[in-house]
Amino acid sequence: MTAFTSLSSQEQEVFSPVETILAGKTLYNELLARYTSWRVGGPADHYYRPANISDLSVFLKQLDYNQPLFWLGAGSNLLIRDGGIRGTVIHLKRTLNQIRLEDDGRLYIEAGVSCPQVARFCQQNGLSGASFMVGIPGSIGGALAMNAGAFGGETWPLVSEVELIDRQGNRQWLPSTAIHVGYRNVSIPHEHWFVATRLSLPATANVDDEEIQRLLDQRRNSQPINVPTCGSVFKNPEHGFAAQLIEQCGLKGHQIGKARVSTKHTNFIENLGGASAFDIELLINHVKNCVEQQQSVRLDCEVRIVGERVTPL
């Protein structure tokens, strides 16, 4: 595995003084529920939506180094607690949104592009191997961060190289071999984040125009798609499936407040309308405890739980 190295002075992006004006959108006390697929989450002290990667780099260079920092993409596989997030939230969805074929045949994608958009782009451009991404509800940045997968496919086998940005706004491209990747787990240096990637996908003369629709139909038939969820809540254990274990515990349809274990796929938790993050977190912990007690299996969350907890009176 290639060792991670710091940027040299030649590799760092250099900005002239005229490039210090920020072009993105700044908000304060911005409610984050509107940006999460569960439709829950309290306010961010400081919310920034960059105009592009260069603007993001300028923003980071100017940001107080002691300011807590949280990165938000499509808001799936994420539970933001009702108390919200202190510090600064950087939101990449629909901002870092460039996707293109490059001269060498590789696919360049910025972190805010949705995974279903990648799947459709590849189909339209005669590239094979990425159709499974239509089943991943998040963005490419999130898919890189957790090696997201669906329908038997995973993100990182497609990756040629990635672009990282650090806390000081410095950017660096690294080959995929420099990153340690496992099942729903990716290790990168502290306070570095993905902002873009290049994928290597084989070209094909025989594009299956119906493949994505078949996968979408499969998802529609097996998963709840008409209510707010975050995608799969738990990782599958080494032997077996989380949904099967949950159902064997009799938890299908179990409800706390307005949060419910889906009756269609028990590894999904639904917001029936008006659920709080507190309801959802209680239900996650209840499911985990029941499976451990009854099945002697400790489920690990795929969901990242962040922010300040607010306990209802």
DSSP state string for 135-197: G--SBHHHHHHHT-EETTEESGGGEEEEEEEETTS-EEEEEGGGSEEETTEEE--TTEEEEEE
> What average pLDDT does this structure show over 198-221?
87
Q: Are residues 103 and 51 in the same domain?
A: no
Please report whether residue 156 resides in a domain: yes
> In the structure, what pLDDT confidence band is assigned to residue 206 with cuts at 50, 70 and 90?
confident
pLDDT in tens, 160-171: 999 999 999 999
Question: Which amino acid type is present at position 89?
Answer: V
- Whether pLDDT at 19 is above 70: no
Angstrom distance (rounded) from CA 124 to CA 237: 35
pLDDT in tens, 65-79: 899 999 999 999 999
How far CA 183 is from CA of 137, 174, 285, in Å, comes to: 18, 20, 22
pLDDT in tens, 186-196: 999 899 999 99
> In the structure, what pLDDT confidence band is assigned to residue 208 with cuts at 50, 70 and 90?
confident
Give the CATH number for residue 45: 3.30.43.10
> What average pLDDT does this structure show over 186-212?
89
- Whether pLDDT at 255 is above 60: yes
Number of domains in the chain: 3
> What average pLDDT does this structure show over 30-59?
97
Q: Are residues 136 and 103 in the same domain?
A: yes
Please report whether residue 43 resides in a domain: yes
Q: Are residues 147 and 183 in the same domain?
A: yes
> What average pLDDT does this structure show over 75-101?
95
Of 50, 74, 91, the domain-final residue: 91
When computed from its CA atoms, the radius of gyration of the chain, rounded to whole angstroms, is: 20
Residues 6 or more apart whose Cβ sits within 8 Å of residue 249: 287, 290, 291, 294, 295
> In the structure, what pLDDT confidence band is assigned to residue 15 with cuts at 50, 70 and 90?
very low
| Active site positions, annotated | 184, 232, 302
- Whether pLDDT at 212 is above 50: yes
Least confident of 154-158, 246-250, 307-311: 307-311
Tell me, yes or no, if the pTM score tops 0.85: yes
Confirm if 32 and 45 have CB atoms less than 8 A apart. Answer: no
- pLDDT given for residue 20 in this prediction: 66
Q: Are residues 119 and 177 in the same domain?
A: yes
How far CA 307 is from CA of 21, 37, 43, 83, 190, in Å, comes to: 30, 16, 9, 6, 19
Written as one string, the DSSP assignment of 236-293 is PPSSS-HHHHHHHTT-TT-EETTEEE-SS-TT-EEE-SS--HHHHHHHHHHHHHHHHH
Q: Are residues 170 and 85 in the same domain?
A: no
Mean pLDDT of the chain: 91
Q: Are residues 109 and 172 in the same domain?
A: yes
| Domain interval for residue 54 | 17-91
- pLDDT given for residue 94 in this prediction: 84
- pLDDT given for residue 57 in this prediction: 97
Please report whether residue 213 resides in a domain: no
Tokens at 185, concatenated:
């787990």
Of 63, 91, 119, the domain-final residue: 91
DSSP state of 47: E
Q: Are residues 240 and 292 in the same domain?
A: yes
Of 33, 56, 91, the domain-final residue: 91
> What average pLDDT does this structure show over 24-40?
97
> What average pLDDT does this structure show over 258-271?
98
Q: Are residues 75 and 153 in the same domain?
A: no
- Collapsing DSSP to helix, strand or coil, 216 comes out as helix
pLDDT in tens, 99-128: 999 999 999 999 999 999 999 999 999 999
Q: Are residues 76 and 103 in the same domain?
A: no
Q: Are residues 87 and 21 in the same domain?
A: yes
pLDDT in tens, 48-70: 999 999 999 999 999 998 999 99
Give the CATH number for residue 291: 3.90.78.10
Give the CATH number for residue 169: 3.30.465.10
**Percent of the chain at pLDDT above 90?**
84
Angstrom distance (rounded) from CA 268 to CA 277: 15
Please report whether residue 132 resides in a domain: yes
- Whether pLDDT at 47 is above 50: yes
